Structure 1
């Protein structure tokens, strides 16, 4: 019940009325002597309480997302996100502590803060590789593309039988969704997670002649091996393991490109030359050479074959047997997030120091 306090000052008395919003005709009046010390103390107490309440509200407003972060840490519930490596770095730096000097400390602290983390992008890669029928595979695992594929699930209906239905509130609509806002991206990531773990349970336990629903316990048991594995892009390994050693690299070796004449190399020309073979990153190495990182082994093989007799550039891969992709990320790797531009992330290791490469 909501009430309104009504004050009326008369000749020697203060009348206080309490009026209900729902029963405006029922007003209770009490008379007090304004010189009464009890009334004075009561008034001061009320003013003090109002001031403290205002201070508390202002402080809570200033804290903002820190309150959510603290609740997540306290709850120790599974943390779910899509391609959330930079999100973890950002939260750590902005709401906990400055980023540590090495990766080992970062992983240790993240395990203490969030013991259970799931990355739906990494999970989607793993499940996609398990689908033998290529028509069932999604071609893109960007958040919105993956959401739409799982929502329609025309080609994977048999893997999502008895899947619980997820519905939005009546006053919300996916057609009015605002991408890259916290609420909608959280909904999409959660939607993808519950569908992906159900698919995983179906792939692991379902038999051709037996179709049955899976409990949440079954589903979480199936996805446990993918826990705390965070997707990485443009790195030597495809994911970061927050709870253990890093995986072996599946990336192809970098390709060394050098001008045949010894003239100054143009990185933009090299990037354009490799663009037809897929997504690549090019880094200037010396006056007449550059390093090219390709996305997969197929791209590396095709580009090397087609550029073997290029009139201007010559290519090699692997570059040097002693400088292959390492099987783990070193503990002294440095991580830095540049604020306020949260999309700018510098991730580098001592392996990328040009001085460590032998001269040709």
Structure 2
């Protein structure tokens, strides 16, 4: 809503981010001078090792949308890479230090019970140094089986063999002590945490690298990155901004960049990232010999043959390509001289300077969120106030539908018979003021805070009453006394 401030929108989005999970994340790396693109898809699934069972919401419309674009739900559910934030990692670390292990999955509990039964039956007759193999263990089951067996039986040692197998060896207690926390111990706390962190390890590598982070309409992406891989989202909007800026000092939102370019250049209006990419690759955007050459590496060459919109890796490729082409266009427009051959990325960053750390804010009180400073309010057209006469029971939705055929406004109730409307287009404001000038039931005028605000009106009424009582007290108090 145009009424939303960034802080209000953040609190609304925060609730959504906390309910949903990340199913797929795409990353795109490129090598200069010729930009050779390596694009990756990561299917993600919340970590379950030693943690309270993670719950998340599924939206029916989102499932249909992703299914339409070929999203592999089986891979997401079966092979998703685990991840956790710092709070979850701390809880798991405490469990490991205490030697306690909690299995939250019913499937894992069944697998664990079967493995324990097999080992306890085998170990009774087994000789020292004799071994057995447990098979068909997936993911965390490899760790969980080993941790539980080692805790329950002091005369066994376990070792993963790969290919979903774990070797169990009968050993003496003395031999067991030598093996524990040695290089041969594959269940050391740091190794368990490394596995449980999963994709978070890559996230932490990106944070340490301090490279520019590029996205398209990336506010929700940043919120998910913070919540899923760093820390739960704070209640404070300003704290969220500070945290993100500390993690990623340079943000580039291609939506912010292209919005500006589209105002300066005679390019056709487009809606989504793929359309932006296609326009910038078309003849509508003149090419020259200095234009960056973008080539897909062999491991992701399928993107050159077939479009894969809304696949994370493909969208990452589009985003990086749009950034380079947009930056080159801005570089060409910034100078009257010919652009030198093979411009460096630092030159592109220079022409992008005014857009750095400004993330697009969709339809709200600011045009972008500034992660390295204060947000600058938008210059919206003046608000309109609608005064209703002779049309009882009218609500916000009905007001919206009334004006919808003419133009789009965001509507909020101001008082019982008044509504305030906001638009981001001056022509819409002029149109409504003209066409509703003589409407029998709706009187539309420009909103004036001192005149239309219920709080100001209330204050004026209270002030008037106080002034009247003061006047009466003065008049009555100043009247001459009569004595008998």
TM-score of the two chains, using structure 1 as the length reference = 0.68
1:162 to 290, 293, 297: 290
**Structure 1: unaligned runs, 5 residues or longer:** 1-13, 15-36, 324-353
Instruction: Quickly say closer, same or farther: Cα 1:316–1:56, change in 2 above 3 A.
Output: same
Instruction: Give the match's secondary structure for 1:316.
Output: strand
Match in the other structure for 2:214: 80
Quote the residue 1:32 is aligned against: none
Is 2:257 the counterpart of 1:123? yes
1:188 matched to 2:318: yes
Quote the residue 1:9 is aligned against: none
Once residues 92 and 357 of structure 1 are traced to their aligned partners in structure 2, the CA distance between those partners, rounded to angstroms, is: 40
Q: How far apart are residue 101 of structure 1 and its match?
A: 3.6
- Give the corresponding residue for 1:238: 367
Q: Which has the higher helix share?
A: 2
Q: 1:276 aligns with which of 405, 412, 419?
A: 405
Deviation (angstroms), 1:230: 1.0
Q: Equivalents in 2 of 1:230, 1:83: separation in Å?
A: 7
**Count of matched residue positions in the alignment of Structure 1 and Structure 2:** 286
Aligned counterpart, 1:200: 330
Q: Say if 1:278 and 1:295, in contact at 8 Å, map to a contact too.
A: no
| Cα distance change on mapping 1:289 and 1:73 into 2, 3 Å | same
The change in CA–CA distance for 1:251 and 1:222 in structure 2 (over 3 A counts) is same
Distance 1:45 1:270, change over 3 A: same
Structure-2 change in CA distance of 1:45 and 1:75 (3 Å)? same
Q: Equivalences for 1:278-357 in 2 at 5 Å?
A: 278-320=407-449
Residues 279 and 53 (structure 1), Cα distance of their counterparts in 2 relative to 1, 3 Å cut: farther
Conservation of the 8 A alpha-carbon contact between 1:262 and 1:288: no
Deviations 1:39-76, CA, capped at 9 Å, x for gaps: x969x959986761698777555434322321221111
Relative to 1, partners in 2 of residues 1:248 and 1:320: Cα closer, same or farther, differing over 3 Å? Answer: same
Matches of 2:257 and 2:332, distance apart in 1:
15
1:274–1:66 CA distance, 2 compared to 1 (3 A): farther
8 Å contact 2:414–2:454 — kept in the other structure? no
Contact conserved, 1:252 with 1:296, CA < 8 A, in 2? yes
Shift of 1:127: 1.7
Q: Name the CA shift for 1:310/1:94 in 2 (closer, same or farther; >3 Å).
A: farther
**Does the alignment pair 1:138 with 2:235?**
no
Please, which moves more after superposition, 190-199 or 172-181?
172-181
Structure possessing the higher radius of gyration over alpha carbons: 2
TM-score, normalization by structure 2: 0.52
Structure 1 residues 97 and 221, CA gap change in structure 2 (3 angstroms) = same
After superposition, the C-alpha distances for 1:65-114 in whole angstroms (9 at most, x for unaligned) are: 32232122111110100011121122222322233343332222222111
- Does the alignment pair 1:67 with 2:195? no
User: Which moved further from structure 2: 165-174 or 84-93?
Assistant: 165-174
Q: Deviations over 1:190-245 (max 9, x none)?
A: 111111111110110243xx454333222111111211111111211111111122
Q: 1:50 to 1:302 in 2, by over 3 A?
A: farther
Instruction: Report the alpha carbon displacement of residue 322 of structure 1 after superposing the two structures with TM.
Output: 8.8
Q: Is the 8 A contact 1:122 1:230 kept in 2?
A: yes
Q: Structure 2: any 5+ residue segments left out of the alignment?
A: 1-129, 131-170, 462-484
Question: Higher relative CO (CA 8 A, sep ≥ 6), structure 1 or 2?
Answer: 2
Contact 1:257/1:291 (CA < 8 Å) preserved in 2? Answer: yes
